[in-house]
């Protein structure tokens, strides 16, 4: 059998907000739960940044907005999470040696198996 490039199964990941840079895309996230004093309030300016990144008329956009307002569950790009201090260190471990990878490249790296 000739080795043909079969397209990898494309897993559609929902677009999400990032609670650090307020971007909106489908790059891998670390979901971080915050409680009590660790909860970081969102500023007007940050909300404005988010609004300019997102079409709030889409269901994804609307969901991301309500999720953004809930500050106790944060979706963070793994590189953003690492930059602000990853609570469990997983973003440092996952990205060790592959700090340049983002989005699909990082997903491919994470899912290629041990």
d(CA 32, CA 88): 9
Quote the CA–CA distance of 73 and 65 in Å, as a whole number. Answer: 12
Which residue in 64, 91, 94, 106 binds Zn ion (CB under 5 A)? Answer: 91
Burial group, residue 52, by CB count within 10 angstroms (0-12, 13-18, 19+) = exposed
Q: Is position 64 an interface residue for Zn ion (rule: CB under 5 A)?
A: no
Question: Among residues 13, 21, 46, 110, which is the contact residue for Zn ion, using CB under 5 A?
Answer: 21
The stretch among 42-50, 65-73, 83-91, 102-110 that binds Zn ion (CB under 5 A) is: 83-91
**C-beta closer to Zn ion: residue 7 or 85:** 85
- Answer yes or no whether residue 106 interacts with Zn ion by CB under 5 A: no
CA dihedral of residues 64, 69, 74, 79 (deg, nearest 10): 70
User: Which positions lie near Zn ion, rule CB under 5 A?
Assistant: 18, 20-21, 23, 30, 77, 80-81, 86, 91
């Amino acid at each position: 059998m000739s080795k043909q490039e079969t397209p990898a199964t494309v897993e559609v990941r929902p677009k999400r907000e990032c609670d650090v840079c307020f971007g909106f895309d489908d790059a891998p996230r670390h979901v971080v739960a915050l409680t009590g004093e660790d909860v970081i309030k969102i500023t007007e300016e940050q909300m404005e940044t988010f609004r300019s990144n997102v079409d709030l008329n889409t269901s994804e956009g609307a969901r991301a907005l309500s999720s953004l307002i809930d500050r106790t569950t944060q979706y963070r790009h793994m590189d953003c999470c690492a930059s602000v201090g990853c609570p469990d260190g997983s973003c440092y471990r996952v990205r060790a040696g592959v700090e340049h990878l983002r989005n699909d490249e990082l997903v491919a790296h994470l899912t290629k198996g041990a």
